[in-house]
Chain A
């Protein structure tokens, strides 16, 4: 193990851990804002209790998302100093803009929302959660524009021994970043939709607060269905863009070893990286892959073997992650559609097995989100900035092995502990009904 490998491992651990909390924040902020808006519009107190109940879970989740985000900003400099120096002129801008434009708004108005129930008017209180939702999503936009630039660098020249920005507009309209943003945002909404449906299903199985949780479920089901469909639609455009801009990643996603025209999509396949071919490939749909990539069944798809060996991403993890993600995405659409149909027709509680399925499905959209990032980041290797800079050239030169071992152990232990506590608290407050979540406030005991 060297500094490079450990730094990569640390970046993977810290960013994946951060990303346990981000998708729910993206989606639940919007859902809670919708709930509170219904309260303000209708005056129905149930929607206020709804905003408070789901809002409490939102805040527990939010806390870890925020603090683990600081790690990512620090880490570019700490472990990836050569990268930061080489591309900071263009890559630093979206990060700084994110902090100024989005992060301030998010963290200031989350304070207003969490502590302001009796301090500001109810309309303004609802506006504050909308501002949080807007800021959270804006935050995602800037981060994904930054990541989009690493995937498909635009608007720069190599000058003075580094990448310098020459076209800001090109960076912020980079289709790669925008498509990724779209795909990610609705993936977050899917997480939130399934989270709310799953927790509601848990209570409906116990027949507690039935009206409350049926109303929550109903909102979440519609939200999740629209989101899951959007994930697939935007994902399709995103993949087509990847085929154009990152052919090596696309080849790995689909395990295409040899270049071919009129490429079929094999519904069942399994790659054999050693022999550079597929162990299994069955059920071909003729021309489908060419069509998905270039909207033309005769288009040529570049195979992995057409890339120099040192410019190929690892095929197996990218392929498997992509397949599994797509499979899960399809499952989400079907389940969300069924959920919406059942709840709208008052049939939901007749199918306890379906409710159970929703409870155990809570983690699945999280997993799909992580898999998507594996496709995106592992699939970009060996590049840190596609075609410009390799990951192996990006690591800090001043680091000693012992420092990175220490930090890796520290992060693993700390994150493990905090993640455990956070999930424990989330589960605890999710299991309680809307009337019982006021534990922090009883103030009954004195030291």
Chain B
């Protein structure tokens, strides 16, 4: 088996699972002030993902670590070329994490309001920047033997922005569905209603993204070569439609699952299109970073494959189990009674 391909698949899976899991935390965070009309609503929202957000974020750390270990050259160049956006993303993730912890540790309305807005902003910035970054990776970075010729402003090209918007909309929908499924009463109804409202602009952005991708990237070339992979974008589209259908039938949890599939499908669509590149060069394909020219040695890949095949299933097992422990809805009363809650 070609371990480069194994790690390419794993690389894609790590990103996809990260976006699926942190997507609803980012989305719920962005909607925190809109959906949470009062303090107890807001505490329900934060506590709805309180036990799991940290574990969800580790998928990002692992995706980063896997890139480092399996494709060190890609890791080195991707992180240094995208220095400023990654920095802002990092600041967002740092502020978000501490805001959850700090927010309810003081009574004052000003204190809580401050951290509430910090949560909104620090959820929006990473959501947007992940989209912008991946949009630019899909379309390729301006790099050659002399290095990188881009800038922060150049990343904010129209395709980068559309892709940033797509991520933001996907996560908003995802977050609204999550809150709808985890809360009760008025808050849950409000979240469900918002999920219906957000679905239309999400669809518009998704269609625009799929269309624009044809012109701005070479992602579809792989699908022309091997149409069997069209199953990924088709799945994404079908799942997106299913989100609305299930919402219409009042099946919020089903809609959330469909939204999970949508995100997995979108990431798969992009990643399959990239193959065998990790970061294409927009200047000349010669300078693209591929799974072959930027990878670790076979020995390292073998070691890492062994580790991944033993431990990733274990991680998935206990994660699923922990999600089961915290399944069910959360009420304002339960949060108020729990002295250990955020």
Q: Do A and B come from one complex?
A: yes
Query: B251 an interface residue at 8 Å Cβ cutoff?
Result: no
Q: When the two chains form their complex, are residues A78 and B75 in contact, meaning their CB atoms are under 8 A apart?
A: no
Q: How far is the CA of A355 from the CA of B52 in the complex (A)?
A: 40
Query: B296 an interface residue at 8 Å Cβ cutoff?
Result: yes
Q: How far is the CA of A407 from the CA of B90 in the complex (A)?
A: 11
List the B side residues contacting A442 at CB < 8 Å: 107, 336
Q: How far is the CA of A421 from the CA of B65 in the complex (A)?
A: 30
Which one, B76-84, B161-169, B188-196, B213-221, is touching chain A?
B76-84
Could you tell me the distance in whole angstroms from the C-beta of A265 to the nearest C-beta in chain B?
Answer: 42
Query: B6 an interface residue at 8 Å Cβ cutoff?
Result: no
Q: When the two chains form their complex, are residues A85 and B76 in contact, meaning their CB atoms are under 8 A apart?
A: yes
Could you tell me the distance in whole angstroms from the C-beta of B146 to the nearest C-beta in chain A?
Answer: 10
Chain B, 94-142, CB within 8 A of any chain A CB = 94-98, 100-102, 104-107, 109, 112-113
CB contact between A89 and one of B57, B87, B107, B296 (< 8 Å): that residue? B296
Q: How far is the CA of A89 from the CA of B62 in the complex (A)?
A: 16
Which one, B231-239, B254-262, B267-275, B310-318, is touching chain A?
B310-318
Q: When the two chains form their complex, are residues B105 and A77 in contact, meaning their CB atoms are under 8 A apart?
A: no
Q: When the two chains form their complex, are residues A104 and B58 in contact, meaning their CB atoms are under 8 A apart?
A: yes
Q: When the two chains form their complex, are residues A398 and B80 in contact, meaning their CB atoms are under 8 A apart?
A: yes
List the B side residues contacting A428 at CB < 8 Å: 105
Could you tell me the distance in whole angstroms from the C-beta of A236 to the nearest C-beta in chain B?
Answer: 33
Query: A401 an interface residue at 8 Å Cβ cutoff?
Result: no
Q: How far is the CA of A105 from the CA of B311 in the complex (A)?
A: 10
List the B side residues contacting A84 at CB < 8 Å: 68, 72, 75-76, 79
- Interface footprint category on B: 35 or more
Chain B, 293-317, CB within 8 A of any chain A CB = 296-297, 299-300, 303-304, 307-308, 311-312, 315
Given contacts A440-B341, A441-B339, contact A77 B43 (CB under 8 A): no
CB contact between B297 and one of A52, A89, A114 (< 8 Å): that residue? A89
Q: When the two chains form their complex, are residues B52 and A418 in contact, meaning their CB atoms are under 8 A apart?
A: no
CB contact between B50 and one of A115, A397, A410, A445 (< 8 Å): that residue? A115
Given contacts A60-B105, A100-B308, contact A95 B39 (CB under 8 A): no
Q: When the two chains form their complex, are residues A93 and B84 in contact, meaning their CB atoms are under 8 A apart?
A: no
Q: When the two chains form their complex, are residues A88 and B342 in contact, meaning their CB atoms are under 8 A apart?
A: no
Query: B329 an interface residue at 8 Å Cβ cutoff?
Result: no
Could you tell me the distance in whole angstroms from the C-beta of A105 to the nearest C-beta in chain B?
Answer: 8
Chain B, 172-218, CB within 8 A of any chain A CB = none
List the B side residues contacting A95 at CB < 8 Å: 65, 68-69
Could you tell me the distance in whole angstroms from the C-beta of B59 to the nearest C-beta in chain A?
Answer: 8
Q: When the two chains form their complex, are residues B97 and A88 in contact, meaning their CB atoms are under 8 A apart?
A: no
Query: B340 an interface residue at 8 Å Cβ cutoff?
Result: yes
Q: When the two chains form their complex, are residues B84 and A112 in contact, meaning their CB atoms are under 8 A apart?
A: no
Could you tell me the distance in whole angstroms from the C-beta of B272 to the nearest C-beta in chain A?
Answer: 23
Chain B, 41-62, CB within 8 A of any chain A CB = 43, 47, 50-55, 57-58, 60-62
List the B side residues contacting A116 at CB < 8 Å: 51, 325-326
List the B side residues contacting A447 at CB < 8 Å: 37-39, 109, 112-113
Nearest opposing residue in chain A for B84, CB measure: A403
Q: How far is the CA of A113 from the CA of B173 in the complex (A)?
A: 30
Q: How far is the CA of A107 from the CA of B319 in the complex (A)?
A: 10
Q: How far is the CA of A424 from the CA of B113 in the complex (A)?
A: 18
Q: How far is the CA of A447 from the CA of B47 in the complex (A)?
A: 18
Query: B3 an interface residue at 8 Å Cβ cutoff?
Result: no
Query: A90 an interface residue at 8 Å Cβ cutoff?
Result: yes
Q: When the two chains form their complex, are residues B299 and A119 in contact, meaning their CB atoms are under 8 A apart?
A: no
Given contacts A84-B68, A92-B72, A115-B326, contact A441 B102 (CB under 8 A): no
Query: B282 an interface residue at 8 Å Cβ cutoff?
Result: no
Q: When the two chains form their complex, are residues A88 and B76 in contact, meaning their CB atoms are under 8 A apart?
A: yes
Query: B64 an interface residue at 8 Å Cβ cutoff?
Result: yes
List the A side residues contacting B318 at CB < 8 Å: 105, 108
Could you tell me the distance in whole angstroms from the C-beta of A133 to the nearest C-beta in chain B?
Answer: 16
Could you tell me the distance in whole angstroms from the C-beta of B161 to the nearest C-beta in chain A?
Answer: 22
Q: When the two chains form their complex, are residues B338 and A78 in contact, meaning their CB atoms are under 8 A apart?
A: no
Q: How far is the CA of A358 from the CA of B26 in the complex (A)?
A: 43
Chain A, 168-224, CB within 8 A of any chain B CB = 168
List the A side residues contacting B312 at CB < 8 Å: 100
Q: How far is the CA of A168 from the CA of B307 in the complex (A)?
A: 12
List the B side residues contacting A93 at CB < 8 Å: 69, 300, 303-304
List the A side residues contacting B311 at CB < 8 Å: 100-101
Query: A42 an interface residue at 8 Å Cβ cutoff?
Result: no
List the A side residues contacting B105 at CB < 8 Å: 60, 425, 428-429, 439-440
Q: When the two chains form their complex, are residues B65 and A100 in contact, meaning their CB atoms are under 8 A apart?
A: yes
Given contacts A74-B79, A93-B300, A406-B84, contact A104 B62 (CB under 8 A): yes
Q: How far is the CA of A78 from the CA of B80 in the complex (A)?
A: 4
Query: B91 an interface residue at 8 Å Cβ cutoff?
Result: yes
Query: A388 an interface residue at 8 Å Cβ cutoff?
Result: no
Q: When the two chains form their complex, are residues B61 and A99 in contact, meaning their CB atoms are under 8 A apart?
A: yes
Query: A64 an interface residue at 8 Å Cβ cutoff?
Result: yes
Q: When the two chains form their complex, are residues A64 and B98 in contact, meaning their CB atoms are under 8 A apart?
A: yes
CB contact between B55 and one of A104, A118, A418, A422 (< 8 Å): that residue? A104
Could you tell me the distance in whole angstroms from the C-beta of B37 to the nearest C-beta in chain A?
Answer: 8
List the A side residues contacting B69 at CB < 8 Å: 88, 92-93, 95-97
CB contact between A110 and one of B54, B77, B325 (< 8 Å): that residue? B54
Query: A120 an interface residue at 8 Å Cβ cutoff?
Result: yes
User: Given A108-B52, A108-B322, A446-B38, list of 13 further CB < 8 A pairs?
Assistant: A77-B78, A78-B87, A84-B79, A88-B73, A96-B69, A97-B307, A100-B308, A104-B58, A104-B319, A164-B296, A407-B84, A441-B338, A445-B39
A-B complex: 4 closest residue pairs judged by Cβ atoms: A88-B72, A77-B79, A92-B69, A92-B68
User: Can you report 10 residue pairs joining A to B where beta carbons are below 8 Å apart?
Assistant: A56-B340, A70-B60, A71-B90, A78-B80, A81-B76, A88-B69, A90-B300, A399-B80, A441-B104, A442-B336
Q: Please list the residues of chain A having a beta carbon within 8 angstroms of any beta carbon in chain B.
A: 52, 56, 59-60, 63-64, 66-68, 70-71, 73-74, 76-79, 81-85, 87-93, 95-101, 103-105, 107-112, 114-120, 159-160, 162, 164-166, 168, 396-399, 403, 406-407, 410, 414, 418, 421-422, 425, 428-429, 437-447
